[in-house]
Amino acid sequence: MALINPVNNASQFSSSGAAGAGGTTEANQDMFFKLLITQLQNQDPTNPMDGTEFTAQLAQFSQLEKLDTMNSSLGYLQLYLASLNNAQTVDFIGKEIKARGNAVELAAGGSADLSYSLAGDAHSVTIEIYDKDEQLVRSLTLQPQNVGDQTENWDGNDSNGHHVGAGVYTFEVKAADADGGVVESSTYLTGAVDSVTFEDGITYLLVGGRKVAIGDIITVKDREEVSPNQAPSTGGTTMEVLRGIGTFVKNAAPLAAMLF
């Protein structure tokens, strides 16, 4: 009497079958148990499946299921961290910041401060101001300046003495020492944070219509000065998110210990 050959390596068939069924966790589980039952039903009664092999297959599937659960848990953790980041950045609204950048906002009929830093003593300093079309609006020639942070006020006039329209302008600083060598400079933008926007997973602060990335912020000031690398203090919303993260990590620790 011919015997039906047993189904071997069920885990391999499970993986390939699940991929054909869409690769979801539910499909993996269903295919695995179907193949396992088929294997048991069609095994040779005179040479049944080795119990050690059977147990190993179950343990292998159990480990894969735990890894899938851990992957889902990490996804939730990512959402928690994103929520925490959003809660923190909202607290920047209304605060004065200094950030890397070369944009400056000019109000109608007003003036604007141009902030920059010199890497060395400069014998000559020139600031060139450009409009949104990158056309030169004004060139300011300044007196010798020392190394460090500097601020120059632009009266809002162009090279002909006419006041330009309100808007966002950019500026460049060119400095040289007494021997004509180039003195490196860095430009900054300053102002109050009006709002926060989230674009393509990146958080920006809006300062007078200018977008500032969180990583470009150097200092934050409110009623008291905040350390350059310290985020503003957060309120109850952030504390709730932190408590949620703590609870999640506490619950996930035993699962991580079982896997690793």
pLDDT in tens, 81-98: 766 766 778 888 888 889
Q: Is the pLDDT of residue 12 over 70?
A: no
Q: Which of 138-147, 180-189, 212-221 has the lowest mean pLDDT?
A: 212-221
Q: Is the pLDDT of residue 32 over 80?
A: no
Single-letter amino acid, residue 249 = V
Share of the chain above pLDDT 70, in %: 65
pTM value? 0.53
236-259 and 51-90 are packed helices; what angle lies between their axes, rounded to 10 degrees? 160
pLDDT value for 208: 80
Q: Is the pLDDT of residue 136 over 80?
A: yes
Q: Is the pLDDT of residue 238 over 60?
A: no
Cα separation, 257 vs 260, in Å, equals: 5
pLDDT value for 210: 85
Single-letter amino acid, residue 247 = T
pLDDT value for 56: 74
Mean pLDDT, to the nearest integer, of 188-204? 85
Mean pLDDT, to the nearest integer, of 155-176? 94
pLDDT value for 228: 52
pLDDT value for 171: 96
Mean pLDDT, to the nearest integer, of 171-186? 95
Q: Which of 105-109, 168-172, 247-251 has the lowest mean pLDDT?
A: 247-251
Q: Is the pLDDT of residue 157 over 70?
A: yes
Cα separation, 129 vs 68, in Å, equals: 56
Cα separation, 67 vs 64, in Å, equals: 5
Buried b (16+ CB within 10 A) or exposed e, 97-106: bbbebbbbbb
Better-predicted residue by pLDDT, 111 or 38: 111
pLDDT value for 11: 43
Q: Is the pLDDT of residue 117 over 50?
A: yes
Q: Is the pLDDT of residue 178 over 80?
A: yes
Single-letter amino acid, residue 223 = R
Better-predicted residue by pLDDT, 59 or 249: 59
Question: Is 9 in contact with 54 (CB distance < 8 Å)?
Answer: no
